[in-house]
A = this chain, B = another copy of it.
Amino acid sequence: MFGTLPHHGFEPIGDDCTVLSMGDDALVMTTDMLVEDVHFLRAASTAEEVGRKSLMVNLSDVAAMGATPVATLLSLSLPESAQGEWSEAFMRGYYDASREAGVALVGGDTTASRDRISINVVAIGRVQGANIKRRSAAKVGDIIAVTGKLGTSSKGLVDIMFGDLDTVAAKHHRVAQARIAEGVWLGGRTEVHAMMDISDGIASDINHIMELSKVGAEIELSTIPTDYDIRYATTGGEDYELLLTVDAASFDRVAEALKEATGTMLTAIGRITDSGELQWLENGAPATVDLKGFTHF
């Protein structure tokens, strides 16, 4: 229905961000809403952590387009119990993360609510048009790669659900770290084709690249970088690592240069195929596991 409206230069929805080209430059924009008792629990996360995470999940979407995050808008609706101390601590966390990422807060809205906190963040990035990375750009034969390690955040969520709030994984879950420098750096490499951030787990997110690029994929389970069970690493959400496809002949060179530029590991986990399907492999043979995407609690 909304596709019939005038576009005014904005690209149709489908990527991590919408894109508005303005000459050689482009703006990218994304928005995410976080709701108390759906996306976070006041008992399990400090207000500072919620502030930081609200920002980071949006900056992750900007960086996943190859763009540099420059500014955000923040809307907060706060019940009486979260006004004062909670909201001040939230803003401290949001400010500290904004300062680290070098982004401005340029607008917002604060309002009351009856009993639960709602948070909406809009993040804006700038990028040279030529550097924009889209989900639709994967090519048959590309290496599928991920930054960092997968599964830590969802393992942390399970720890939190069992009351272990202070494990390494639980801390990682509570404070999401966006791969900003990595996304911007990868945006500048023409050998990188498609890119997105991993918010629902690769088992689910790879489908977006397959659909928009009209390709298939095979992923070798034994190569997925993780410290935890393979289910966390494939179907666990909220890792905010980058999922990308890279020209096969250039992969080693790109991975080495990324490591040198940012300290972050890039790991090959599979290949783009022309099958139109997702095929899991286990030591080269078709895997029998049934891996579904992650459902936000």
Interface residues of A (CB under 8 A from B): 1-2, 4-11, 13, 17-18, 20, 22-23, 25, 27, 29-39, 70-71, 73, 75-77, 91, 95, 98-99, 102-109, 111-116, 118, 120, 122, 124, 126, 296
Do B5 and A107 have beta carbons less than 8 Å apart?
A: no
Check if B2 sits within 8 Å of A38, measured CB to CB: no
7 pairs of A and B residues whose beta carbons are closest in the complex: A120-B120, A8-B70, A33-B75, A118-B118, A18-B106, A10-B106, A18-B107
| Bound Cα distance A113, B248 (Å) | 43
- B2, B91, B109: the one contacting A32 at CB < 8 Å is B109
Can you pick out 19 interface pairs between chain A and chain B where the beta carbons lie within 8 Å of each other? A2-B105, A5-B98, A5-B102, A8-B71, A17-B107, A18-B106, A20-B106, A22-B22, A29-B107, A31-B73, A31-B75, A32-B109, A33-B111, A35-B118, A36-B114, A38-B114, A39-B111, A77-B118, A120-B120
Enumerate chain B residues within 8 angstroms of A99, measured Cβ to Cβ. Answer: 4-5
Chain B contacts for A113, CB-based, 8 A: 35, 38, 116, 118
Could you tell me if B8 and A104 are in contact, using CB atoms closer than 8 angstroms? Answer: yes
Beyond contacts A38-B111, A77-B118, A112-B296: 14 other A-B pairs, Cβ-Cβ < 8 A, are: A1-B91, A1-B95, A13-B105, A18-B73, A22-B22, A29-B73, A30-B107, A31-B73, A31-B122, A32-B75, A113-B116, A115-B115, A118-B118, A122-B122
* Most chain B C-beta atoms within 10 Å of own C-beta, residue among A8, A13, A34: A8
- Write out the residue numbers on chain B whose beta carbons fall within 8 Å of the beta carbon of A23: 22-23
What's the Cα separation between A5 and B27 when bound, in Å?
20
Q: Could you say which residues of chain B place their CB within 8 Å of the CB of A25? A: 22
